[in-house]
Structure 1
């Protein structure tokens, strides 16, 4: 139970940082402060739900696309978040592509590094 909670917290923080970086780097991507939390929660829920589905579809229908399933999941999560939430606006095909890559990359890096930083004492105690 604690592991699931820790994973959820790390995912929320990683996605929040990734969306902030994307909005900061890309001029045609905006994230309003008021709706930021709602956008992060929607993005994280959609990403968590859609990722296993896309992986399963790519494994059965197109194994070649398995490596890009995380990028597709990120794109779908961005689209759903932009449609459902007023907090995220992305305009232009180039911005959509760059936003997908930036949000995916930053989220992946934060998900790898954050547990080492936050749970450093716990990891050290296990050794």
Structure 2
């Protein structure tokens, strides 16, 4: 009986160690941007509706979904006082295209707050 308990505990420990090696990345480990080899098509022309108080226009853009570029229509997003909205963009880097989603920037320096050493620097703007 004691030998069976030891065998089961060793088996369970080895399963746990294998399970740790096979872990799938979680959202916390997600990449900062999407990199693809295919450049996005030219932006589409879209009619911007009249301004809405308390909202900011987020222009239409292409996202990479299902192995291809998909157009996402522009829309109004609720404004955040003290922040500037940076729309999504595609940038070419080393022959590949990087997609960065739209973000809010507190000090309007162009660096997203989560990557900015001093996101509330009073000497900027």
**Shorter chain as normaliser: what TM range?**
under 0.3
| Greater relative contact order (CA < 8 Å, ≥ 6 in sequence) | 1
Q: Structure 2-normalised TM-score?
A: 0.25
Q: 1 or 2, which has the higher helix percentage?
A: 1
Q: 1 or 2, which has the higher strand percentage?
A: 2
Q: Structure 1-normalised TM-score?
A: 0.25
Larger Rg: 2
